[in-house]
Amino acid sequence: MLRSSLLPLAAATAAFVLPAAALADGVTITSYGHSALLINGGGASVLVNPFKAVACAAGLKEPRIKADVVLASSLLLDEGAPVAQGRFLASPGGYSIKGLRFEGFAAPHDRLGGRRFGNGVIWRWQQGGLDFAHLGGTAATLQPEDKVLLGRPDVLILGVGGGAKVYDGVEAADVVKQLNPKVVIPVQYVRSGEPPAECDQTSAKDFLEALPGVPSKPVGRVLKLTPPLGDTTRIDLMP
């Protein structure tokens, strides 16, 4: 559940207007593994959740790249490490950068009201003519007011691998059913083999099985999305 102190932002979120610089040219999304995605389009580049190669990101190549904006779910090293260059955002609030508008909302990062891991940040923004929501920063149950804040995203970036601070497959599937996005990009799950020693996440199997009517397919490391995306939900699996 999002903090009630965020509710005054609902009116501003409802009036969220697509900047002219971000009109419908689409985006190109590049996966760096775990939950790190580089999104290029609308005249800007946005890097989501850069990581240190620790915990569930152990063994991966760190995304030591440059972007206009760096969005972090938290300051935990596997989802908000200072390894990339760019305007680093890890706190709730509204930000206007490179013609894009970002809204960050505090949410409990665990299922205990934030008592274990504190609050993370979930993000909403528009880029390349598409409405993005990034829920990597919470494992909390969505409430009706949360859906008002988030709207119906074109692209939902969503942790699905379970563990102490990430939705498990069934929880993540419930979020998809509530928000009804057009494209879901699952993150924070074990792609293949056994998880690293300090990782409490599993594969995306439970998530996919909890959404039997939703088509899913591997799309490779680079994904091009161009609006309109249609009106049904699909799952794009990136390595």
Three-state DSSP string of 63-99: CCCEEEEEECCCCCCCCCCCCCEEEEECCCEEEEECC
H or E, element range at 44: strand 44-48
pLDDT of residue 2: 55
With a cut of 60, say whether residue 6 has pLDDT above it: no
Phi, psi (rounded to 5 degrees) for 76: -60, 145
**pLDDT tens column, 110-157:** 999 999 999 999 999 999 999 999 998 899 999 888 889 899 999 999
Confidence of residue 11 (pLDDT cuts 50, 70, 90): very low
pLDDT of residue 12: 43
Please give the Cα distance from 78 to 60 (Å, whole number).
Answer: 11
**pLDDT tens column, 178-213:** 999 999 999 999 998 889 988 999 999 999 999 999
Name the CATH architecture for the domain at 4-16+24-237: 4-Layer Sandwich (3.60)
pLDDT of residue 13: 44
Confidence of residue 23 (pLDDT cuts 50, 70, 90): low
Q: Is residue 49 a contact partner of residue 83, using CB atoms and an 8 Å limit?
A: no
pLDDT of residue 87: 98
Domain limits, the chain: 4-16+24-237
Q: Is residue 35 a contact partner of residue 51, using CB atoms and an 8 Å limit?
A: yes
Mean pLDDT of all residues in 153-176? 97
pLDDT of residue 177: 97
Rg of the Cα atoms in the chain:
16
* pLDDT above 90: percentage of residues in the chain: 82
pLDDT of residue 130: 98
Q: Is residue 60 a contact partner of residue 194, using CB atoms and an 8 Å limit?
A: no
Confidence of residue 1 (pLDDT cuts 50, 70, 90): low
pLDDT of residue 209: 98
With a cut of 70, say whether residue 166 has pLDDT above it: yes
Q: Is residue 107 a contact partner of residue 119, using CB atoms and an 8 Å limit?
A: yes
Q: Count other Cβ atoms within 10 Å, centred on residue 91.
A: 12
Confidence of residue 175 (pLDDT cuts 50, 70, 90): very high
pLDDT of residue 8: 40
- Least trusted range by pLDDT, from 17-31, 81-95, 169-183: 17-31
**pLDDT tens column, 45-78:** 999 999 999 999 999 999 999 999 999 999 999 9
Q: Count other Cβ atoms within 10 Å, centred on residue 31.
A: 22
What the block records as the tokens of 159 is 């942790």
What the block records as the tokens of 205 is 């199997």
With a cut of 90, say whether residue 239 has pLDDT above it: yes
Please give the Cα distance from 185 to 175 (Å, whole number).
Answer: 13
